[in-house]
Amino acid sequence: MSISQINPHPLPVYSDYQREALIGELLLEMGKLTRDELDRINILQQTSGMRFGETARKLGLVMEADILEALAVQFGYPCLQAGQKAFSQDLVAAYQPYSQRVEALRALRSQLVLRWFHRGNKVLAVVAANPGDGCSNLAANLSVVFAQLGERTLLIDANLRDPSQRDIFNLNQRKGLSDILIGRADMDVITKIESLAGLSVLGAGTVPPNPQELLGRNGFDALINKARDQYDVVIVDTPPAVLTSDAQAVAARCGGALLVSRLNQTRMADLANVRDQLLICDVQVVAAIVNDL
């Protein structure tokens, strides 16, 4: 399936009346309304002719954010309720899907679709020059917005020195990429994120003493090829490229890279150096962005 084929399973079509009734029941199930409050809304709605959400807000019983959460559930748009503690709050694409920051992520996603994924590519490395540039957070949030698009998305934590994705997604599975590469695990250690349908995460696993050697093995190529066969989009998180050559080795197997910098923090000389190293490794720099996540 190409990325241009968005969600091959069509969503059910509801009439306005059915949609509004379902929103009320969803808000009840989510604990946003009581049965008495739902009845009050329905009575006023019948006499006023207003839509359900408008009526509920006029009565002061729900907020706009509550309506948006219910719509997200109804239309199969994976996100998390505010205050839910399942994952790191840095996962803004899941917790704040209607914010301006996430709109910027969706714009980036569109550019990556046009420049990379739409052309038959499936794997993209996310590369930053230095620690603190936000590479891991961006990789995690980018994976969420691709899953929200309806794509089978896999996030791989290839930062075998200082991994982050296990903490971001609160993974219980301790084995991961490094364990696969030494033959002590296989693809079944990938964790499906049930509350964010379509998203799976492969953590870094046991922190090894020889990360560069592991990433240079044929086993990593084999894993990437399996991921291409099983997923529509594969996002690979990498360690800082200035400190080691791990990121360049990973990106070379992915074929393309998203280059990440942070405003007023990343030195232009470092960024140019990383870009040149990627080009030497025959990696296509698909896009370069200034990160604020």
Residue in 143, 122, 156, 126 with CA at minimum distance from that of residue 4: 122
Give a yes or no: residue 7 inside a domain: no
What would the mean pLDDT of 75-104 be, rounded to a whole number? 82
- The whole-number pLDDT of residue 164 equals 97
- Per-residue pLDDT band at 8 (split at 50, 70, 90): very low
- Per-residue pLDDT band at 75 (split at 50, 70, 90): low
Q: Are 133 and 261 in contact (CB under 8 A)?
A: yes
Residue given tokens 């803004």 in the structure block? 92
128/68 same-domain check? no
58/107 same-domain check? no
CA atoms within 13 Å, Cβ hemisphere of 120: 0
Query: pLDDT tens digits, residue range 218-252?
Result: 999 999 999 999 999 999 999 999 999 999 999 99
What mean pLDDT is reported for the chain?
88
61/133 same-domain check? no
SS3 for 4?
A: coil
Give the total number of structural domains in the chain: 2
177/274 same-domain check? yes
192/159 same-domain check? yes
Q: DSSP letter for 100, please.
A: H
Phi-psi category of residue 120: left, alpha or beta, with phi > 0 → left and psi -120 to 50 → alpha: left
Residue 52 is part of which domain span?
Answer: 16-74
Query: pLDDT tens digits, residue range 160-210?
Result: 999 999 999 999 999 999 999 999 999 999 999 988 989 999 999 999 999
- Per-residue pLDDT band at 10 (split at 50, 70, 90): very low
Give a yes or no: residue 134 inside a domain: yes
- Look up the CATH number of the domain holding residue 250: 3.40.50.300
Beta-sheet strands, E only, within 18-160 = 123-128, 153-157
69/99 same-domain check? no
- Per-residue pLDDT band at 2 (split at 50, 70, 90): very low
> How deeply is 48 buried, as exposed, middle or buried, from its count of CB atoms within 10 A (0-12, 13-18, 19+)?
exposed
157/23 same-domain check? no
- CA-derived radius of gyration, the chain: 21
- Per-residue pLDDT band at 6 (split at 50, 70, 90): very low
Give a yes or no: residue 11 inside a domain: no
162/275 same-domain check? yes
